[in-house]
Structure 1
C-alpha cells in the first residue's frame, strides 16, 4: 500500500481520538467552565451534528479543489480548532470549535475515502480502505484510553493539544505523499447527486445506516452492560472497550480483504450476526466468560460489515467521483447519531 494511505490513517487516528475521547472528559470540562455535565455534553452532540451535515457540505465545497489541497486544508482547520479549544476560557467558543472540528473531520474523511480508492488498482481498493479506516479503530484501542489518561494526569486541555500535535506529521505527510497533480475528474454536481437515485446505492447506504445505528446504539451503553448486567467492576469497562477496539481493527482488516471478492456473503452473513449479536448482548452478557469474547466478536463482524458497505457505496457511486466519499461518511454518521438516540427512546 502507498505510504500516503498510512499518513491519511494517522490523521484519522487523531480525528477518531478527538471524536471519542471527550465523553470521558466531560466532568473535568464542566468543572473548568462552571457548567453542568449535561451542558458539557452538548459538546459531543455538536460534534455529532457537525459530522452528519459536514460530509456532503464540505465535499461539495471542495469538489473542485485538488485532493492534496482539500486534505491539507481540512487538517489545518481541524488542528486550529483544537488549538483554540485548548486555550479558550469561553464555553461558547469551545462549542463552536467542536462544530468546526466536526465539519473539517467529515470533509477530510469524505475526500480521503475517494483519494484512497483512487490511489490503488481496483482489486486493492478494499485493502486501501482497510488501511485508511484502521486509523479510527486504533484510536478506539489506544487513542481514547490514552487521551483519558492524559486528561487525568495533565487536564483535558492537554488532550486537545495532543490531538493538534498529531495533526502536524499527518499534514506534512499529505503535502509530501499526495501528488500535487493527482488526476481530478471534473463532473457537474447535479449528475453526482443523481447517483443517489440508483436503487442499489440507496440500499447499500440504508444498510450502512442500519449497521452503524445498531452498533453504536449498543456500544454507547456498553459500560452499564459490563457493570450492571455482567456484575463486573468499573475497571473492566476499559478492558471490554479495548477488546472491542481490537476486534474492530481485525474486522476492518478482514473486511478490506473480502470486500472485493466476497462482499455479498460478508454483508448477508455478517449483517445477521451483527443484529443478533448486539440484541442478545443483555442476555448473553450476564456471564463474564461469554461477554468478553462476544464483545470482541461483535467488534470484528460490525466493522467487517461496515467497512465492506463503505466499499460498496463507493463502488455503486462510481459516477460521483467527488461526492461518493461523502455518501459513505454521511451514512455512517447518521447511524452513529441515530443509534444512541433510538436506544434511549426505547
Structure 2
C-alpha cells in the first residue's frame, strides 16, 4: 500500500531543515576563521541548535496542540526561513548562536507536528514506513544537502549555505500549503494524562537510550571535517565526499529500519547498538588510514540512522494515545544527544587528546547506551521472576 503524498511532502520539508542541522559539520573551520572563534566554539553552533530542539519540542508541541496541523507547520517553517536569512547576514558570533537556537525552536515544533501528522495519515501497520519517510528527509539532507553546503562553503563562504537552506525551504512551504490536510491535533487525551504516559517507566529507558545513541552519532559527525583533514590526512575536497557517503549509508539505514524494525524491534535496536559501539571504536583506531575511514563512514551512517529510526518508531508505538507529545519527547531525546555529543567532543579536543578524541567519546557513549539497555533487561527479568515466584 503506497503512503499518502502528504507524508512525502513532510519528508521534503525535513530535508531542508535537516540540511541546516547537519551542514555545520563541513563548515566549522571556515566559520571559526571568519568569526574569530575556536573550533570548539564553532562546534557549539550545532549544540545550540540541538539545545533549542530539546527545549522547544515539548513546549512547541503543547503550544500548537490544538492548532490545525497545516497552520502550525507553515508557521514553524516560516520562522525557520527567517532566522536563516538573519544568520546569513550577521557578522556576530553571538547573533548567529541565537539564530541557531531560535531556528531550532521552530524546527522542533515542526518535527513534533510532522511526526504526529505522518502517523495519523496511515494505518498502524504503516507507522514505521511513515516515520522512516519523515526521518528519511534528514538522511537525504546528509546525502545531498550537507555535501552541497560544504561545497558552497568552500567556494563562496559558509554564508552561502545559510542562504541555500532558506531558498530550498520555499518549495516545501508551498507543498505543505497545498498537500497537507488541515486537521487538528488530538484533544481526546488530557495533557496531564499524556505527560504521565510519556514520563512513565516504559518510555524513560527508551528515551535515554535514544539520547545516548544520538550523542554518539553527533559527537563524531560534528568533528568529522577536522578528523578527515588533520588525522586522516585527506584534503578538504574529500570532505563533501565523506559526508555524502555517511548520508548514503544513513538513507539506507532509515529504509531498512522502516521495512524491518517493526518485526523485531528489540533485537533490531540491540544489534544496531552493539555494532555502533564496535564501529566507532574501529574508526578511532583506523583514523590514520584513508581507505578504512572511507569504508567505515557509510557503514556507521547506516547503523546510526537505522538504529535511531527504530528507536523513534518504538517511542511512537509505545504511546499511540499521545502521538504529538511522543514525537516531541522523541525529538527532545534525539537532540539532547545532539547537544551533549558535540559538547563532549569539544571538551576532548580542548583537553588536547587529539582529533580522534570525539570518536572515542562516541564509542564510550555507545557503551553507556548498551549498559542502560542491559540494566533495563535485568530489571525486567527480576520483576518477571518475582511475579512468577509470587504466583
Same fold flag (TM > 0.5)? yes
State the aligned residue count. 345
Q: 1:226 to 1:157 in 2, by over 3 A?
A: closer
Work out whether residues 25 and 222 of structure 2, in 8 Å CA contact, stay in contact via their aligned partners in 1: no
Work out whether residues 11 and 135 of structure 1, in 8 Å CA contact, stay in contact via their aligned partners in 2: yes
Q: Say which SS state the counterpart of residue 36 (structure 1) adopts.
A: coil
Q: 1:12 to 1:183 in 2, by over 3 A?
A: closer
Work out whether residues 207 and 330 of structure 2, in 8 Å CA contact, stay in contact via their aligned partners in 1: yes
The residue aligned with 2:101 is 99
Distance apart, 1:275 and its partner CA? 1.3
Distance apart, 1:338 and its partner CA? 1.4
Q: 1:35 to 1:292 in 2, by over 3 A?
A: closer
Matches of 2:96 and 2:83, distance apart in 1: 9
Correspondence 1:1-346 to 2 at 5 A: 1-25=3-27, 35-37=36-38, 43-88=45-90, 92-181=94-183, 184-227=186-229, 229-345=231-347
Matches of 2:333 and 2:52, distance apart in 1: 14
TM-score, length-scaled by structure 2: 0.80
Unaligned runs of 5+ in 1: none
Matches of 1:130 and 1:164, distance apart in 2: 24
Unaligned runs of 5+ in 2: 349-391
Alignment deviations for residues 170-202 of structure 1 (CA, whole Å, 9 cap, x no partner): 112112111123563443211111013432211
Q: 1:176 to 1:184 in 2, by over 3 A?
A: farther
Work out whether residues 26 and 147 of structure 2, in 8 Å CA contact, stay in contact via their aligned partners in 1: no
Of 36-45 and 107-116, the range deviating more from structure 2: 36-45
Q: Say which SS state the counterpart of residue 322 (structure 2) adopts.
A: coil
Q: 1:310 to 1:118 in 2, by over 3 A?
A: same
Q: Say which SS state the counterpart of residue 331 (structure 2) adopts.
A: helix
Distance apart, 1:29 and its partner CA? 5.0
TM-score, length-scaled by structure 1: 0.90
Distance apart, 1:98 and its partner CA? 2.1
Work out whether residues 129 and 258 of structure 2, in 8 Å CA contact, stay in contact via their aligned partners in 1: yes
